[in-house]
Chain A
Amino acid sequence: MTLTRRELLKIGGGGVLGAGILPFLRVLPAAAATDDVIVGVHGQTINSLDIHRTGTNRPSYQVAVNCYDRLVSFGTMTTPDGGLSYDYSKIEPELAESWTISDDGLTMTFKLNPKAIFQDGSKVTAADVKWSFDRAVSAGGFPTVQMKAGGLVRPDQFTAVDDETFVITLDRSSKLTLPDLAVPVPYILNSRIAMANATAEDPWAMEYVHKNTIGSGAYKVVRWDPGQQLVYERNDAWTGGPLPGIKRLVLREVPSQATRRALITRGDAQLSFNIPNKDAKELSGDVKVFSTPIENSIYVVGVNHKFEPFQDPDVRKALAYAIPYEEIFQAAAYGRGNPMWGGSADIDSIDWPRKSPYSTNMDKAREHLEKSAFAKGFEVPFSISLSQTDWMEPTALLIQESLAKLGIKSEIDKIPGANWRTASLVEKRLPLHLEGFGGWLNYPCYYFFWAYKDGHLFNSSNYRNEEIETLVDETLHLAVDHPDYAPKVKRMFEIAFEDLPRIPLWQPALNVATNGATGYEYWFHRQLDARKLAKG
């Protein structure tokens, strides 16, 4: 990706960056203010253009979204605060024009949009889809795990029947398959270019796709300076949806929060992605702030069942009654997101996340603790991650203070970011800790699959309940409108609130500020989808 100054000026179309206006820009450096360029800032770094590559970090997932198409996508809806959000209930065409699913649910046939072309002008064929899917299930690591969630495991499940017909054969019918095709991972690459750049050691062209975008998506990356900036440019031949309202998006990495805040307030940046809750609260009014509660995500207190006092259900309930929920919500979340406490004990719906039936009540907390074998209290380390101190530290301090009133002594144990996943999720050795899993596929059973099943990654509490094990297995692939689904899911909620391996605190929000940009849309992957952006 080398680009000389001259070339960039040339592709500046319409003279956006034409040399003629440079003297003017020198006077007004804020003149990103040309009509079709948006400057965005974020605090993270993009480390690859390929979501399938080993070690690709979360912020880089946006490249898969913005520069590539999938077979299908989700619809769009309006949120209560006037913003846009993707709509999980609607699956819409992206590269596939239409699709059919056999009666037994085992064969899915996709008809590709015959007009769809890659950014080099060649036609998108079923062979490209097959190659891309083969790559995703063979790459290993995160993409392969995500494909597996939808029942997509082996290359022999994918067949290119003719140029425009692609067939997926499943081992079992599952409601997760179709939505799993709309997540960023199963994106469609230009297999011809990829194979031309593949080698014997690198059959999937990982090195090439790492640095080049070869999709059919709404944008292409014209410049990537790792650690500094990423420049997207609109693909005018995009067929996957309405063209973006801007010609170019310049995404700069600005590590300091204070600097990002100054930039968005001054309007030199038109979009600041993932701003802290505190800024979201203080900036709204000056600039437009969107705070969207993250679907299927809850911040919880993890109560490890390996730790002896927590094997006693009364101790766990004492904890749940002792947490100062409202204070935490105000101090750590600045009121952004949704409270997850003080709900009704009667489980009347399968909406998730759901408010737990607990709320702050020190008398009840004492009552439960007295009933337990640990009436006099005990000592327990309270672990938090050093890289998530923004919410974990105030939360842990408030809980520590409250537990002290019950005679439960806790010492705050701060674990470095690199070690946090190993300690909390892989070794699951933290007795009392904070955790914040969110599931991409928006079903309660999917959340329970990751967070409540024994041995699964986000079950950091070593929780095991035979009934939950069975219920999750039974509901995971079951259609939501199946008569058995709702009663089984409600039963899972009941057990979860009774056993309390995870005590819900609140549903976090994703905050984005705009100042002169419109069309920001929230997505479950929590990265910037720039496809609807426009100036204004």
Chain B
Amino acid sequence: MSPRLRGILFRIAQAIPVVIGVVIIGFVLTRALPGDPAVYFAGAAADATSIAEIRKTLGLDLPLPQQFLIYVGDLLRGDFGQSISTGQPVIADLASRLPASLELTLVALLLSCAIAIPLGVMAATRPGSLIDHACRVLVTAGVSLPTFFTGVVLIYIFYYLLGIAPSPLGRLDFIYIEPDRITGFYLIDSALAGDGETFLAALRQLVLPAITLALFTLAPIARMTRAAMLGALSADFVRTARAAGLTGRTVRYTYAFRNALLPVVTTLGMVFSFTLGANVLVEKVFAWPGIGSYAVEALVVSDYAAVQGFVLAMAFLFVALNLLIDVTYTLIDPRIGFEAS
């Protein structure tokens, strides 16, 4: 077994206690929420008997430890429970909503990186120049405009006034049928099915929300690229490289940029996880059926199974993400070890 593979397996093993902890904390915290789901879901004209009946149906009349055991038993069988607010199994909700959020977040981040990284590099190589100031203005504007505001403004201009954006009605306009599910990402699924029509439709729906999110995530990435690049450019090895007569281009990209990438990747990981959970407002404005708005709605009505499922899914995602970032480190900088030591 190669040291890297062993390292990865060790990291996965390390994640097990984290997941167990998340299961327990998720369970306890949802129970600590104010509100009584039995009363809430008993409906408008429920009396004490019907509330009691519903409490029994939901299994909420049992003592907490017993409820926990049932919950863990179900989890081990792969059953995340039934969401009462959507009426669907939590696993089905997550399976349809997580890809929606991931697709939006990934496209937004790609867009954001495509702008922010070159911008940061250019700003760092010419500090104090016009492009540096432009970078600062864009970054400040991006981070200071709340996403729901940017979203509503974009809808107002491009949909309401100009009429060039499609109706902000979620992932696909209603006249299109979602592509056969393979990955849950509409862009990928429709491309795999060779359905150019649906691909374009899905892309069009994505543009405005992705720009909204990209504007917001631009700031940390551009700032971090600029700072890391500045640090790398003033480092000893760059001076040595210059003294050795290497061209400016080789110095900048082969030596400085590669070294500057580490903090950028770290920031990217953080921005990604933050965005995935925090783009509720963008989801609401664009009627995007994502995971953030799902979790918030479930929280509001104390829908225990849905909240627990969300927390757990996020935990798994973060474990995977951290692993991915650590592996990326070793690819960028071979000095960073990944051994199980």
Interface residues of A (CB under 8 A from B): 3-5, 8, 17, 22, 25-26, 29-32, 39, 41, 45, 47-48, 53-58, 140-142, 144-146, 149, 210, 225-229, 231, 250, 252-256, 258-259, 262-263, 265-266, 268-269, 387, 416-419, 421-422, 425-426, 450, 457
| B171 CB to nearest A CB, Å | 8
Q: Report B-chain residues with C-beta under 8 Å of the C-beta of A225.
A: 96, 289
| B108 CB to nearest A CB, Å | 18
In angstroms, Cα B173 to Cα A256, docked, is 17
Cβ < 8 Å to A, chain B residues 137-163: 148, 152, 155-156, 159-160, 163
Cβ < 8 Å to A, chain B residues 266-292: 283-287, 289
| B341 CB to nearest A CB, Å | 47
| B299 CB to nearest A CB, Å | 8
Q: Which of B44, B45, B86, B283 contacts A47 (CB 8 A)?
A: B86
- Consensus secondary structure, chain A interface: mixed
Q: Which of B37, B50, B285, B302 contacts A140 (CB 8 A)?
A: B50
Q: Report A-chain residues with C-beta under 8 Å of the C-beta of B87.
A: 47-48, 53, 55-56, 210, 226
13 A-B residue pairs with CB within 8 Å: A54-B57, A55-B84, A55-B87, A142-B46, A145-B43, A145-B46, A254-B168, A255-B293, A256-B152, A258-B285, A418-B40, A422-B35, A457-B47
Assuming the A-B contacts A418-B33, A418-B36, are A144 and B86 also in contact, with contact meaning beta carbons closer than 8 angstroms in the complex?
Answer: no
Q: Report A-chain residues with C-beta under 8 Å of the C-beta of B287.
A: 228, 252-256, 259
Q: Is the CB of B34 within 8 A of A419?
A: yes
In angstroms, Cα B163 to Cα A451, docked, is 50
Q: Report A-chain residues with C-beta under 8 Å of the C-beta of B169.
A: 41, 252, 254, 263, 268
In angstroms, Cα B41 to Cα A417, docked, is 12
In angstroms, Cα B48 to Cα A500, docked, is 26
Assuming the A-B contacts A29-B173, A29-B175, are A145 and B85 also in contact, with contact meaning beta carbons closer than 8 angstroms in the complex?
Answer: no
Q: Report B-chain residues with C-beta under 8 Å of the C-beta of A418.
A: 33-37, 40, 300-302
Q: Determine whether B294 belongs to the interface, using a CB cutoff of 8 Å to chain A.
A: yes
Q: Report B-chain residues with C-beta under 8 Å of the C-beta of A26.
A: 197, 200-201
Q: Report B-chain residues with C-beta under 8 Å of the C-beta of A3.
A: 177
Q: Report B-chain residues with C-beta under 8 Å of the C-beta of A58.
A: 43-44
Identify which of A5, A17, A31, A149 gathers the most chain B CB atoms within 10 Å of its CB.
Answer: A5
Further pairs besides A48-B87, A419-B36, A421-B40: 18, Cβ < 8 Å: A26-B200, A29-B166, A29-B175, A30-B167, A45-B85, A54-B84, A55-B84, A226-B93, A227-B289, A228-B289, A255-B283, A256-B148, A256-B152, A258-B285, A263-B167, A269-B167, A416-B300, A422-B39
Q: Determine whether B297 belongs to the interface, using a CB cutoff of 8 Å to chain A.
A: yes
How many positions in chain B have a CB within 8 Å of any CB in the partner chain?
62
Chain B residue with Cβ nearest A143: B43
Q: Which of A31, A47, A145, A426 contacts B39 (CB 8 A)?
A: A426
Q: Is the CB of B39 within 8 A of A141?
A: no
Assuming the A-B contacts A56-B87, A57-B85, are A262 and B168 also in contact, with contact meaning beta carbons closer than 8 angstroms in the complex?
Answer: yes
In angstroms, Cα B62 to Cα A451, docked, is 32
Q: Is the CB of B175 within 8 A of A259?
A: no
Q: Report A-chain residues with C-beta under 8 Å of the C-beta of B51.
A: 426
Q: Report A-chain residues with C-beta under 8 Å of the C-beta of B54.
A: 54-55, 140-141
Chain B residue with Cβ nearest A50: B87
In angstroms, Cα B181 to Cα A225, docked, is 14
In angstroms, Cα B275 to Cα A135, docked, is 46
| A385 CB to nearest B CB, Å | 11
Q: Which of B45, B57, B84, B97 contacts A227 (CB 8 A)?
A: B97
Cβ < 8 Å to A, chain B residues 65-88: 84-88
Q: Report B-chain residues with C-beta under 8 Å of the C-beta of A141.
A: 42-43, 46, 50, 53-54
In angstroms, Cα B283 to Cα A422, docked, is 30
Chain B residue with Cβ nearest A420: B35
Q: Report B-chain residues with C-beta under 8 Å of the C-beta of A256.
A: 148, 152, 284-287
- Ranked nearest first, the 9 interchain pairs of A and B with the lowest CB-CB distance are A418-B35, A142-B43, A5-B177, A47-B87, A55-B41, A55-B84, A140-B53, A419-B35, A419-B34
Q: Which of B53, B86, B197 contacts A45 (CB 8 A)?
A: B86
Q: Report A-chain residues with C-beta under 8 Å of the C-beta of B84.
A: 47, 54-55
Q: Which of A22, A29, A57, A142 contacts B167 (CB 8 A)?
A: A29
In angstroms, Cα B287 to Cα A41, docked, is 10
Identify which of A41, A226, A262 gathers the most chain B CB atoms within 10 Å of its CB.
Answer: A226
Q: Report B-chain residues with C-beta under 8 Å of the C-beta of A252.
A: 169-170, 174, 287
Chain B residue with Cβ nearest A5: B177
Q: Report B-chain residues with C-beta under 8 Å of the C-beta of A144.
A: 50
